[in-house]
């Protein structure tokens, strides 16, 4: 059974195979502005060695700490890998808070499943498993965004309770509840807190 794991050196071999699959579909090039693309550009030259991979894993883990230095405009982000034994399948990242840029396009949560593991329900299950973690990180609800052409990602989001907030410039934005269902129903938002779609307009 796949499960979420903090980044771990235990899946080194499988992780490299997954990255080769992403590279084969064109990821990691200069125009890939995703988190995955950024990681590929920054670490691909060194993550093939044991020490290089350990440094990459340590950098990912450190990125979840408020105290870790990061470029202006970047917020702490917690990464989990979706692994089955020593097999790396996918990655999900929870950004702890929104910036204007994340509010407009990136959202709180991003994910990608290695090409050879797609269409087996991994993204749907991985997001389901990550939502309580997002909640514990103070993300409630979570903003998820995707290209309006990304049917698979829209299905993943909607299968996890995503409510479409709006759509513009080719991007659909969804609010996804992170609280357990019974709490989400039992605890309405505090009176001082506007509903998510109103908050989005205010920022």
Ligand X SMILES: CC(C)(COP(=O)(O)OP(=O)(O)OC[C@H]1O[C@@H](n2cnc3c(N)ncnc32)[C@H](O)[C@@H]1OP(=O)(O)O)[C@@H](O)C(=O)NCCC(=O)NCCS
Q: Residues in the site for ligand X, rule: CB under 6 A? A: 111-113, 118-124, 146, 150-153, 155-156, 159
Shortest distance (Å) from residue 137 CB to ligand X: 19
Shortest distance (Å) from residue 189 CB to ligand X: 25
Shortest distance (Å) from residue 12 CB to ligand X: 21
Nearest CA-CA partner of 105 in 165, 161, 61, 162:
165
User: Which of residues 49 and 131 has its CB atom nearest to ligand X in the complex?
Assistant: 131
- Given a contact cutoff of 8 angstroms between Cβ atoms, the answer to whether 58 and 26 are in contact is no
Shortest distance (Å) from residue 49 CB to ligand X: 26
Please report where in the chains the tokens 């990459």 appear, as a residue: 56
Shortest distance (Å) from residue 50 CB to ligand X: 27
d(C-alpha 53, C-alpha 152), whole Å: 30
User: Which of residues 52 and 158 has its CB atom nearest to ligand X in the complex?
Assistant: 158
Nearest CA-CA partner of 172 in 159, 198, 153:
153
User: Which of residues 101 and 183 has its CB atom nearest to ligand X in the complex?
Assistant: 101
Any residues with CB less than 8 A from the CB of 148 and at least 6 apart, and which? Answer: 154, 167, 170, 171, 172
User: Which of residues 76 and 121 has its CB atom nearest to ligand X in the complex?
Assistant: 121
User: Which of residues 115 and 189 has its CB atom nearest to ligand X in the complex?
Assistant: 115
Return the SS3 of 152: helix
Nearest CA-CA partner of 177 in 146, 135, 145, 136:
135
């Amino acid at each position: 059974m796949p499960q979420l794991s903090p980044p771990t050196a235990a899946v080194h071999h499988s992780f490299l195979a997954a990255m080769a699959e992403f590279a084969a579909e064109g990821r990691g090039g200069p125009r890939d502005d995703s988190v995955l693309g950024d990681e590929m550009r920054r670490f691909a030259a060194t993550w093939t060695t044991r020490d290089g991979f350990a440094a990459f894993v340590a950098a990912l883990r450190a990125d979840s700490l408020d105290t870790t230095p990061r470029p202006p405009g970047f917020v702490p982000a917690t990464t989990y890998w979706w692994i089955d034994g020593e097999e790396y399948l996918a990655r999900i990242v929870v950004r702890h808070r929104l910036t204007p840029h994340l509010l407009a396009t990136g959202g709180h949560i991003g994910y990608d499943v290695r090409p050879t593991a797609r269409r087996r329900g991994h993204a749907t299950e991985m997001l389901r498993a990550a939502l309580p973690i997002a909640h514990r990180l103070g993300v409630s609800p979570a903003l998820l965004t995707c290209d309006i052409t990304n049917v698979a990602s829209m299905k993943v989001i909607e299968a996890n309770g995503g409510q479409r907030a709006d759509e513009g410039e080719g991007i659909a934005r969804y609010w996804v509840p992170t609280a357990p269902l019974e709490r989400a129903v039992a605890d309405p938002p505090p009176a001082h807190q506007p509903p998510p779609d109103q908050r989005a307009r205010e920022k």
